[in-house]
Amino acid sequence: MGDANYARELGVAVRAVHMACALCQRVQAGLVSHGTGQVKSKDDDSPVTVADWSVQAIVSWILAESFQDQNVSIVAEEDVQTLSKAELADLLASVTKTVNESLAEAPKYGLQSPKKALGASQVLEAISRCNSTGGPTGRHWVLDPVDGTLGFVRGDQYAIALALIEDGKVIMGVLGCPNYPMKNGWLNHHHHHHQYDESMSSSATDTWEKGCVIYAQKGSGKAWMQPLVQQNKMLEWPNSARQIKVSSIDDPGLATFCEPVEKANSNHSFTAGVAHSMGFKNQPLRVHSMVKYAAIARGDAEIFMKFARCGYKEKIWDHAAGVVIVEEAGGVVTDAGGRPLDFSRGTYLEGLDRGIVACCSAKLHEGFIGAVYASWDSSNL
């Protein structure tokens, strides 16, 4: 499964993401059942929930405890400014409770629990510890605690993404996809039904095996997927994992492409024009979060494209884990100019040429880059 030098890091990362998935499933079930009262807005109006802060806290704590021999550097999305407000004391209490409930289950995942429950100040400290800005040197963990919070709040797709960057290169990536079952083709089924129905959530649960963790290590030439840990069971990693590969389809007429759901950070009209010029016949698969990268790596779709509107800057935590997983599964990921993504320049993907393209094959990728160039001059991006 890759270089033995990183076996310890990969083991901790996979276990931590499994724990985070279980936490998110519990919180999401409560949101879907009881409404969105604990969903807050950040300064940029994007939503944040108990799960975002709780996952960041537990992953931060686990990494710090697991690598006490290292100066652990973590680049992550959330800060504690909102959570620290006096009028949100109840929200902080909910986060603290959720964190302690999750960490109490750590032995189930092969990790250590705290000797005693963490206090609110310790939870805030764990969250705020994730204040690194990355860069071209050193080792940096990159975390998106809940990628696709809008999908999470709606009971839809979301992901927990954890990657390790060393000297500007992504070394490994782990994606937890709690609502993305093991069975290929399910994402298309869910997309066409738009929401879970009773047959999906109850009687068909065993058939679909809802939820998975996907991971890869740079240079291994392999990507892996395993089911989420079921209730009252222990994590059986890596014995329960199976290898995944990208799709073998390279005919645009048979290919399916993924793009973001939100129009705010993706130009659907431009991607539709590129798809038309390439001869795509299938409707686009609009999916929340880095689950789009999982879809490419697993062979559920052939292309992921994202062309943000002018002024939007891509963050490294939205792509690092997904990129290495797609590449090791046999795919290609570049910017729209055909250049590799640069994770060495801090929090943002600086120098990005127009957009991001992930393909299952070099042939499709080459044709797609050509179609982008041909369509660009007539676009309004």
Indicate which CATH number applies to the domain containing 330.
3.40.190.80
pLDDT at 196 (0 to 100): 37
Residue 144 annotated as binding? Answer: yes
| 234 and 328 within one domain | no
Residue 87 annotated as binding? Answer: no
Q: Which helix (H) or strand (E) holds 147?
A: strand 139-147
Residue in the structure block whose two tokens are 């645009």: 252
Q: Which domain holds residue 66?
A: 4-179+211-244
| 167 and 115 within one domain | yes
Number of structural domains the chain divides into: 2
The CA distance from 22 to 341, in Å, is 31
| 87 and 155 within one domain | yes
pLDDT at 184 (0 to 100): 67
| 279 and 218 within one domain | no
Give the domain CATH number at 240: 3.30.540.10
Which structure tokens are listed for 289? 């979060």
Looking at 49, 96, 98, 149, which residue is catalytic? Answer: 149
- Please measure the distance between the N-terminal and C-terminal CA atoms of the chain and give it in whole angstroms: 41
| 106 and 25 within one domain | yes
pLDDT at 91 (0 to 100): 92
CA dihedral (348, 353, 355, 361) in degrees, to 10, reads -110
The CA distance from 30 to 119, in Å, is 23
Residue ranges for the chain with pLDDT beneath 70: 1-4, 32-38, 42-46, 184-208, 264-265, 377-381
Which structure tokens are listed for 267? 């130009």
What DSSP string runs through 16-77? HHHHHHHHHHHHHHHHHHH-STTEEE-TTS-EEEHHHHHHHHHHHHHHHHHTTTS---EEES
User: Is 52 one of the annotated active-site residues of the chain?
Assistant: yes
Phi-psi region for residue 20, left (φ > 0), alpha (ψ -120 to 50) or beta?
alpha
| 351 and 239 within one domain | no
Residue 250 annotated as binding? Answer: no
Looking at 52, 156, 300, 335, which residue is catalytic? Answer: 52
DSSP state of 200: I
Tabulate helix, strand, coil % of the chain (nearest 5): 40, 20, 40
Residue in the structure block whose two tokens are 């071209």: 136
Residue 77 annotated as binding? Answer: yes
User: Is 342 one of the annotated active-site residues of the chain?
Assistant: no
| 270 and 237 within one domain | no
- List pLDDT tens digits, range 177-221: 999 977 766 565 444 444 433 333 333 444 447 899 999 999 999
